[in-house]
Structure 1
Amino acid sequence: MEPSTPKGLAMAAMTAVYGHFDELSPGEADAWVPPSSPGAGGHRGRYLWTDAFGVVNFVTMAVGTSSEKYMTLAKRLVWAVHDVLGRTRDGTARLDRATDQEPLKGGLRIGKTTESGPDCDGQYHHYLTLWMFALNRLSVAAKDPAYNDLAIQLARAIHPHFFVEHAPGQMHMVWKISTDMKTVLVQSQGNLDAATGFIIFKLLQDTAEKQGRGKGLLEKEVDDYAKVMGRKEETHPSGDPLDLGMGLWVSHIYPDEAWSSEFKGRALALAGRLISKDSPTLNRPVARRLAFREFGACLGISCCDAMSPELQAKVEAVLDFWENHVARGFEEELRPISQVMYAAARNPGAFRMSYLT
Structure 2
Amino acid sequence: MIRDTATGFLQKTMREYAARTGLDPASDRPRRYLWTDAYAVCTYLDLFRLTGDAAYRALALALVGQVHHTLGRHRDDDPRAGWISDLPAAEGEEHPTAGGLRIGKKMNERAAGEPFDERLEWDRDGQYYHYLTKWMHALSRVAAVTGDPVYLRWAMELARVAHEAFTYAAGGGKRMYWKMSIDLSRPLVHAMGQHDPLDGLVTYSELQAAVKNLPGTAARIDLAPGIADMAGICRKVHLVTDDPLGIGGLLFDATRIARLMIEGEWTYAELLESVLGAAGPGLVSFAQRGVLRHPAAYRLAFRELGLAVGLAGVPMMLEAFEEHPDAFAPSLQRQAQAIAEYLPLGEAIREFWLDEKNRQAATWTEHREINTVMLATSLAPGEFLMV
- Per the shorter chain, which TM-score range? 0.7 to 0.9
- Measure the CA separation in 1 of the matches of 2:353 and 2:285: 19
Output the TM-score relative to the length of structure 1.
0.85
Residue 69 of structure 1 deviates from its aligned partner by 1.9
Work out whether 1:264 is the aligned partner of 2:267.
no
Residue 7 of structure 1 deviates from its aligned partner by 2.8
Residue 258 of structure 1 deviates from its aligned partner by 2.0
SS in 2 for 1:45: coil
Work out whether 1:188 is the aligned partner of 2:191.
yes
For the Cα contact (< 8 Å) 1:303–1:351, is it kept in 2? no
Q: Give the CA RMSD over aligned residues.
A: 2.7
Unmatched runs of 5 consecutive residues or more in structure 1: 22-30, 37-42
- Measure the CA separation in 2 of the matches of 1:20 and 1:184: 33
- Measure the CA separation in 1 of the matches of 2:249 and 2:50: 23
- Measure the CA separation in 2 of the matches of 1:3 and 1:140: 25
- Measure the CA separation in 1 of the matches of 2:352 and 2:10: 15
For the Cα contact (< 8 Å) 1:87–1:93, is it kept in 2? yes
Match of 2:380 among 342, 347, 356: 347
Unmatched runs of 5 consecutive residues or more in structure 2: 111-119, 262-268, 319-335
Match of 1:314 among 345, 349, 365: 345
Output the TM-score relative to the length of structure 2.
0.79
For the Cα contact (< 8 Å) 1:16–1:339, is it kept in 2? no
What residue is the counterpart of 2:84 in the other structure? Answer: 95
Letter in structure 1 aligned against 2:59: L
Work out whether 1:15 is the aligned partner of 2:15.
yes
Work out whether 1:121 is the aligned partner of 2:133.
no
What residue is the counterpart of 1:73 in the other structure? Answer: 59
What residue is the counterpart of 1:109 in the other structure? Answer: 102
Residue 142 of structure 1 deviates from its aligned partner by 1.1
What residue is the counterpart of 1:6 in the other structure? Answer: 6
SS in 1 for 2:168: strand
Work out whether 1:292 is the aligned partner of 2:292.
no
Residue 333 of structure 1 deviates from its aligned partner by 3.1
- Measure the CA separation in 1 of the matches of 2:83 and 2:131: 19
Letter in structure 2 aligned against 1:260: L
For the Cα contact (< 8 Å) 1:18–1:35, is it kept in 2? no
Task: Figure out how many residues of one structure are paired with residues of the other and give that number.
Answer: 334
Alignment of 1:1-357 (within 5 A): 5-19=5-19, 32-34=24-26, 44-90=30-76, 92-98=81-87, 99-115=92-108, 116=110, 117-119=120-122, 120-167=124-171, 169-212=172-215, 213=217, 214=219, 217-230=222-235, 232-234=236-238, 236-255=239-258, 256=261, 257-268=269-280, 270-271=282-283, 274-275=286-287, 279-305=289-315, 306=318, 310-326=341-357, 328=359, 329=361, 330-353=363-386
- Measure the CA separation in 2 of the matches of 1:76 and 1:325: 29
- Measure the CA separation in 2 of the matches of 1:68 and 1:10: 16
SS in 2 for 1:164: strand
- Measure the CA separation in 1 of the matches of 2:146 and 2:85: 30
- Measure the CA separation in 1 of the matches of 2:127 and 2:8: 34
Identity %: 32
- Measure the CA separation in 1 of the matches of 2:6 and 2:137: 23
For the Cα contact (< 8 Å) 1:209–1:215, is it kept in 2? no
